[in-house]
Amino acid sequence: MMMSEPPAWLGAAGPRSDVILSTRVRFARNLEGSPFPTRATERELIEVRERIVAAIAKSNYLTNALVFRMEETDPAIRRVLVERHLVSSELAEGGPGGGAIVGEKEIVSAMVNEEDHLRLQCIRAGLQPVDAWRLIERIDCELERNLQYAFSSDWGYLTSCPTNVGTGVRVSVLAHLMGLVRSNRIAQVLGSVSKLGLSVRGFYGEGSAALGGFFQISNQTTLGQSEEDIAYTVERVAGQLVALELEARKELAENAGRQLADEVGRAYGILANARMISAEEVMELVSSLRLGTALGLIDSVDLGTVNRLLVITQPGHLTYSHGGEPTPEERDSARADLVRKELASCE
């Protein structure tokens, strides 16, 4: 089961992983001749899902992929899939015909019958938009040999949402911009990003809050640009964000080094000793710890461990490990136990 190890993108092994946790490239596709999910019957949704599952089974890139049929999947596992950025909250509601397909190390995955018939995605560690796009492009071409996509010579790939029409590609990076937050420059910087045609969301994408200085930055439109151009644009803008964040971190270290070191030490102390802790508090404290780790203010924990804490302490993971729905007190206690264990393993 996928729970036995964390996703590969949490390993902090990618380029600029000190600022960019992950890159995600997602293709939206629909099948020619089949009603889009919002207009399809349950029978039609199930038929589409099984066609996609059969095509993916022939893929050289998705050998041994796990298939989750949402209506048959335990609610706790569906929540885990959300927390690992593999499915949306809407798909995790478990309606008939919904599905998730997860490849090895969770690098490549797919949502089936969410807003579109197929949402194929690749998640890589660090800043890798172009490399991730190249991989997902190869898989998409491979699948198209067995699936006929809805395509218009005038408009490109046809999708349920007009903003995805065209290439159907969404390229995003998950960035930790706590230096810009602490220096009160984040609003100005993100405002400039929006003017460049990119959108800014929280840790879990659209509709989520930007807790702990974690932001998702992605392209807003997919029409009028090539897939490659979109990937290069996001990589270029994200690179500029990295430079601004590193500059802000340097200024913080120079002008408020003692205060920052104290904050990082306190965050570590609470995480390493707490007996009960909420998911929101973990997010905020881990953000401080991650900043301190990246700046070399604490050497007893590595970025990979810090990244894992952001995901494995979420409610779905704890419910799955508990073997049933824990009470809020049991969940907060189990979360604190898990955090202490993870931090102790680094010593």
Predicted pLDDT at 299 = 87
Q: Which residues, including other chains, have CB under 8 Å from residue 131's CB and lie 6 or more apart?
A: 124
User: Are the C-beta atoms of residues 233 and 211 closer than 8 Å to each other?
Assistant: no
pLDDT, position 163:
83
Please tell me the distance from the alpha carbon of residue 316 to that of residue 80, in angstroms, as a whole number.
Answer: 5
Residues 286, 332 contacting (CB under 8 angstroms)? no
Mean pLDDT of 257-266: 94
The answer on pLDDT for 207 being more than 50 is no
Cβ atoms within 10 Å of 250's Cβ, excluding its own: 12
The answer, yes or no, to whether residue 22 has pLDDT greater than 50, is yes
Measured CA to CA, the distance from residue 204 to residue 210 in angstroms comes to 9
**54's tokens:** 């059969």
- Model pLDDT for residues 297-333, shown as the tens digit of each residue: 998 899 999 999 999 999 999 998 887 789 999 999 9
Question: What pLDDT, on the 0 to 100 scale, is given for residue 206?
Answer: 53
Q: 1-5, 77-81, 215-219, 327-331: which range is least confident on average?
A: 1-5
The 10s digit of each residue's pLDDT in 30-89 is 999 999 999 999 999 999 999 999 999 999 999 889 999 999 999 999 999 999 999 999
φ and ψ at residue 335, rounded to 5 degrees: -65, -45
What confidence category does residue 4 fall into, taking pLDDT thresholds of 50, 70 and 90?
A: low
Structure tokens at 85: 């950025």
pLDDT at 121 over 90: yes
DSSP assignments along 191-212, one per residue:
HHHHHTTEEEEBTTBTT---GG
118 SS3 class: strand
- Is the pLDDT at 16 greater than 90, yes or no? yes
